[in-house]
């Protein structure tokens, strides 16, 4: 049964990729299609792994479509899903459907992220930003949805050091859920991005709450021109236990049509100006 499920998942993605590929052949002048293949090894030494395939297509106007499948080894099971997304400037709304751990999930997510604003123009340059996310999710046989509003303000510095640019940043999540009427800080994140031109290197340390307990440490390297991102992570899973993770991502085509890749280093931009 598990093998049939895995085969079905990859057949689904193969059909989606084939459909997007046929559409791409008819509109070769438009780079409206994006693809990503991700591999992940968990544990040290590696005892568990996953492979994920994602395909996305820009549809009419601000609409886009994404489909994905993720297989797990050595359990030989798979999850599948997809979403329809509406994006207009800095606002996006998506409706997603997934089969995760043999259970169905439906989620509606609205996210707003206005361009960063300039707080100080000098050496260093200081930028401020904010992201707001409202999500409602139905999972399994639960009749009551999970609803959460998260606002994430951030401050980023840009320090040019000759041909290299260093960008330290701090952000925190302020969340409000349907079960708790009082907002609370659920996560704090410190990161630093090193821009070497053809290569971006980022280190991110995350804490639960307002720097209460260590949550994770992630180091990621990306080569934008190649579409390759490699990351290593250390996750705290409770007590004195930690989980090690190594991830490899390769993407091509219109990467803006793909879902954002967590932990991927990127340039710091405000409006049309990038540092």
pLDDT tens digits for the chain (275 residues)? Answer: 444 444 444 444 445 544 544 444 444 445 689 999 999 999 877 788 999 999 999 888 899 999 999 998 887 888 999 999 999 888 999 999 998 876 788 999 999 999 888 888 888 899 999 999 999 998 876 667 889 999 999 999 999 888 899 999 999 999 988 777 788 999 999 999 999 989 999 999 999 999 999 999 999 999 999 999 999 999 998 888 899 999 999 999 988 888 888 778 777 777 667 76
Q: Which of 225, 232, 226, 238 is nearest to 263 (CA)?
A: 232
- Is 138 a domain residue? yes
Burial 169-200 (b: 16+ CB within 10 A, else e): bebbbebbbeeeeeeeebbbbebbbbbeeeeb
- Is 56 a domain residue? yes
> Can you give the residue range of the structural domain that contains 55?
2-265
- Is 270 a domain residue? no
The alpha carbon dihedral of 44, 45, 50, 54 has a sign of positive
- Is 271 a domain residue? no
Task: Count how many domains the chain has.
Answer: 1
Residue 141's CB is within 10 A of a number of other CB atoms, namely 7
- Is 202 a domain residue? yes
- Is 273 a domain residue? no
- Is 76 a domain residue? yes
Distance of CA 32 to the CA centre of its chain: 20
Domain of 53, CATH number, reads 2.40.160
Q: Which of 62, 100, 108 is nearest to 81 (CA)?
A: 100
- Is 33 a domain residue? yes
């Amino acid at each position: 049964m598990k093998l049939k499920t895995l085969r079905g998942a990859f057949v689904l993605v193969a059909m989606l990729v084939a459909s997007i590929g046929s559409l791409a052949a008819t509109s070769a002048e438009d780079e409206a299609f994006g693809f990503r293949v991700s591999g992940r090894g968990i544990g040290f030494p590696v005892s568990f792994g996953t492979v994920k395939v994602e395909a996305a297509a820009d549809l009419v106007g601000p609409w886009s479509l994404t489909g994905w499948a993720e297989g797990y080894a050595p359990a030989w099971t798979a999850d599948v899903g997809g979403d329809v997304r509406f994006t207009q400037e800095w606002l996006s709304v998506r409706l997603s459907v997934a089969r995760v751990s043999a259970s169905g999930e439906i989620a509606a997510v609205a996210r707003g992220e206005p361009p960063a604003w300039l707080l100080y123009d000098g050496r260093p340059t200081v930028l401020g930003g904010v992201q707001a996310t409202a999500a409602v999710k139905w999972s399994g046989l639960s009749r009551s949805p999970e609803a959460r509003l998260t606002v994430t303000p951030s401050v980023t510095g840009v320090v040019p050091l000759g041909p290299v640019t260093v960008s330290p940043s701090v952000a925190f999540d302020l969340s409000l859920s349907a079960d708790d009427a009082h907002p609370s800080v659920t996560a704090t994140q410190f990161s630093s991005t090193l821009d070497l031109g053809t290569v971006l290197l980022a280190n991110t340390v995350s804490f639960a709450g307002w720097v209460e307990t260590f949550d994770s440490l992630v180091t990621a390297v990306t080569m934008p021109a190649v579409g390759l991102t490699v990351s290593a992570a250390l996750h705290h899973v409770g007590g004195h236990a930690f989980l090690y993770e190594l991830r490899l991502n390769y993407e091509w085509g219109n990467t803006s049509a793909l879902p954002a890749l967590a932990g991927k280093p990127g340039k710091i931009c405000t409006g049309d100006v990038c540092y």
